[in-house]
Amino acid sequence: MGLLMIPVELLDEITGYLSYSSWFALSLTCRTLHTWIDNPYCTSKKRGKPLSERLSQSRCPMIKPRDLFEIEMWPGYLRQANIQMAHAHGYFACGECVRLRRARHFTNAMMKRKRGKTGSGTIEQRSKRVCIQCCLRLGRFSPGTTFYFGGAEVRGYGIICSRCLRYEEYVRHEEHEGYDYSNMSGTCGRCMSLNIMPAWHYPGYQKSAEDYHAEARYYSQFAAYYSQFAAYYARPPF
What is the spatial distance between Cα 49 and Cα 142, in angstroms, rounded to a whole number?
49
pLDDT tens digit string along 137-163? 888 888 888 888 887 666 788 888 887
The answer to whether the pTM exceeds 0.75 is no
pLDDT tens digit string along 42-83? 444 444 555 445 444 444 445 677 777 777 777 666 655 444
Q: What Å distances lie between residue 197 and 72, 113, 123, 212, 216, CA to CA?
A: 47, 44, 49, 11, 10
**Distant-in-sequence, close-in-space partners of 46: CB < 8 Å, separation ≥ 6:** 53, 54, 57
Q: What is the pLDDT of residue 82?
A: 44
pLDDT tens digit string along 2-24? 777 777 777 777 777 777 777 77
What would the mean pLDDT of 16-34 be, rounded to a whole number? 73
Q: What is the mean pLDDT of the chain?
A: 69
Would the pLDDT of 107 be above 80? yes
What is the spatial distance between Cα 235 and Cα 238, in angstroms, rounded to a whole number?
9
In contact, 11 and 18? CB cutoff 8 Å: no
In contact, 62 and 52? CB cutoff 8 Å: no
pLDDT bucket at 207, cuts 50 / 70 / 90:
low
Domain ranges of the chain: 3-62, 66-193
* Half-sphere exposure of residue 120: CA atoms within 13 angstroms, side-chain side: 0
- Sheet-wide strand order for 156-160: 146-149, 156-160, 167-170
Q: What is the pLDDT of residue 163?
A: 78
Q: What is the pLDDT of residue 162?
A: 80
What is the spatial distance between Cα 180 and Cα 155, in angstroms, rounded to a whole number?
10
DSSP states of 16-80: TTS-HHHHHHHHTS-HHHHHHS--SSS-SSSTTS-HHHHHHHSS-SS--HHHHHHHTTSGGG---
Q: Which of 96-110, 180-194, 214-228 has the lowest mean pLDDT?
A: 180-194
3-state secondary structure of 217: helix
What is the spatial distance between Cα 131 and Cα 94, in angstroms, rounded to a whole number?
6
